[in-house]
Every structure is written in structure tokens, then in C-alpha cells.
């Protein structure tokens, strides 16, 4: 947990040092880092390849936005909207996990990959509620300063990181890792593998819904891009290169990869007048890193991390 507190204190220090123009982007990078870490709980600790994590990001975002903006005819308190986003995401995660997690390997991965596409269609079908392709604003622009947004993102990301670390270092984390390392052996020694895989998936989904809602409050708008394949691939990039099964690796590399995307890759493409998506370069990095560092960057610093933490 020491590294988590170091991160928080460094974030506070950056608040006083960074120019206002950079605060928004750095804050958004913090929220993306939290998403990467929440994905790692299922993939890195129970070994279940979830390609539909953005389902719960988008679901939490839309539940929060619809309730807060009164799109159903009545408005809810911001805290109630946050709670609803978390509970609905967790409930769907538990229900879906209870059914799908009985499958293994590629079968489970295939089902999860389809899930965000299904939910994205609801945005277009019920466009009068969800705003269609353009989404909608929750109408809280006034008083929401870049400084407030930054501190909010710092608190959310620190909370998610701390909760995930507490979970993986508890007896639940030990059972998760036993399932990841050898599911048959885990069953043989009495671990209810289905129960703990569903629990991991539920917590991961709840965290994704929470961060999805936080993203809406952060940028004041909600749109279908929170269900997108691009976002899912970015999460995979950060986690694989950072080091799956470490929480710290996906979190800190998630922070780094988002900042690289905005401040380095995008500026590089613009400087040469190249009209191509910045994701293409990042995906190329993913392929190279997966070949050269299959265990991720965090594995290289594992001893140092343990010594500090």
C-alpha cells in the first residue's frame, strides 16, 4: 500500500506544479489507469480473459448520467446516481458471470467480446433516453473547474487502487490466484472455483461501473465511446505491457500509456501531418511488447516494488 500512498502524494504535488492546461488530461489518465487495474482483477488474478470490460464502464456511465440528468422524468441525487451505477454494474456482472464463467478459455472470451456491442445498440435504439450517437450532457458545466476535476480523478483512482490492493492481498486474493495457477488443483483442495470467479468478475464490474460514472462527471458528457473496442484495446495494452496479475503494472502503465497517447504519439503524428489514428502506433507497441516482455514491465521491477511496498 505504500506505493499507493506515494502515488496519491505525488498526484497532490503535481496539482500545485502542473499548469492548468495539463490538469484535465492528467486527471483523465488517472481514471483510465483505474480502469486498467480493475480489468486486471479478473484477468490477472483468476485467469479469465474478459474482453467485454467496457460493457460495465458504459453501463455505469449511462446509469449515472440518465439518473442525474433526469432523462427518465425525475432527477436523482448525485450520490444515489453513483450508488445505482455501482450496484447495477455489479448485479449485471454477477448475473452474467454466474452463467458465462462456467465456460473456460476462448469460449468465455468470445461471449464477453460480444457483450459491449449488444449494449451499445441499446444506446441507438432508445436514443430519446440515451442520446444516440452523440450522447448528451449532464448539465453540470458551471463550477466544475479543471482543478476540481483533477482532484476528483485523483481521489477516485486512489480509492480504486487501494480497494483492489486490499482485495488481492486478502484471503480472497489467495483463492483467486490459486484458481489462476491451477483451477483443477484449487477445486481438489476445496475451493469453490465458480463462486470465486464470479466474485472476482462482480468486483471488477462494480469498479468499472464506478469509474465509468466518474468519467461522466469528469467530462460532463456521456457517449457510446465508453463501450468502444478502442477503449477495450487500450485497457489491454496498458495491462499486458504493464504486467498482468500485479495491479500496480496495469495501473501505472495505464497512466503512462494514456499520457503518451495524448502528448507524444498524437503530437508526433500532427507534426508530420500524418492522418492516421494514434491507436495504430499504440497497438503496434502492444504486439512488440507482448513478444519481447510477455510478463510485462512490472515483472522487471518486481523485487524493487516488493521492497518499497
Q: Return the domain boundaries, the chain.
A: 2-228
CA distance 195 to 193: 5
| Dihedral in degrees, nearest 10, Cα atoms 155, 177, 53, 293 | 90
Write down the mean pLDDT value for the chain.
Answer: 87
Mark 46-76 as b/e (b = at least 16 C-beta within 10 Å): bbbebbbbbbbbbbbbbbbbbbbbebeeeeb
pLDDT bracket for residue 303 (50, 70, 90)? low
Retrieve residue 230's grid coordinates. Answer: 478502442
* Residue predicted with more confidence, 274 or 204: 204
Report pTM. Answer: 0.90
> Residue 281's pLDDT is what?
72
> Residue 261's pLDDT is what?
81
> Residue 145's pLDDT is what?
78
CB 90 within 8 A of CB 202: yes
Amino acid at each position: 500500500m505504500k506505493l499507493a500512498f506515494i502515488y496519491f502524494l505525488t498526484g497532490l504535488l503535481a496539482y500545485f506544479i502542473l499548469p492548468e492546461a495539463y490538469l484535465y488530461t492528467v486527471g483523465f489518465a488517472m481514471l483510465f489507469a483505474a480502469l486498467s487495474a480493475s480489468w486486471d482483477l479478473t484477468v490477472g488474478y483468476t485467469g479469465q480473459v474478459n474482453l467485454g470490460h467496457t460493457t460495465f464502464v458504459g453501463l455505469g456511465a449511462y446509469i449515472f448520467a440518465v439518473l442525474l440528468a433526469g432523462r427518465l422524468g425525475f432527477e436523482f441525487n448525485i450520490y444515489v446516481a453513483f450508488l445505482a451505477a455501482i450496484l447495477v454494474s455489479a448485479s449485471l456482472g454477477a448475473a452474467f458471470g454466474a452463467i458465462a464463467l462456467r465456460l473456460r478459455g476462448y469460449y468465455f472470451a468470445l461471449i464477453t467480446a460480444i457483450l459491449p456491442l449488444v449494449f451499445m445498440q441499446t444506446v441507438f435504439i432508445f436514443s430519446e433516453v440515451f442520446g444516440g450517437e452523440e450522447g448528451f450532457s449532464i448539465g453540470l458545466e458551471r463550477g466544475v473547474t479543471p482543478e476540481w476535476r483533477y482532484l476528483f480523478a485523483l481521489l477516485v483512482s486512489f480509492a480504486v487502487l487501494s480497494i483492489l490492493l486490499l482485495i488481492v492481498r486478502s484471503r480472497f486474493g489467495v483463492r483467486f490466484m490459486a484458481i489462476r495457477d491451477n483451477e483443477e488443483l484449487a477445486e481438489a483442495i476445496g475451493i469453490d472455483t465458480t463462486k470465486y470467479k464470479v466474485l472476482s468478475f462482480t468486483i471488477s464490474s462494480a469498479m468499472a461501473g464506478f469509474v465509468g460514472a466518474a468519467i461522466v462527471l469528469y467530462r460532463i458528457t456521456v457517449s457510446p465511446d465508453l463501450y468502444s473496442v478502442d477503449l477495450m484495446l487500450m485497457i489491454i495494452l496498458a495491462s499486458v505491457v504493464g504486467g498482468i496479475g500485479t495491479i500496480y503494472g496495469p495501473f501505472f502503465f495505464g497512466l503512462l500509456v494514456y499520457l503518451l497517447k495524448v502528448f507524444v504519439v498524437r503530437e508526433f503524428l500532427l507534426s508530420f501531418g500524418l492522418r492516421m489514428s494514434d491507436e495504430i502506433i499504440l497497438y503496434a507497441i502492444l504486439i512488440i511488447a507482448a513478444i519481447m516482455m510477455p510478463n510485462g514491465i512490472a515483472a522487471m521491477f518486481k523485487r524493487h516494488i516488493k521492497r518499497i511496498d
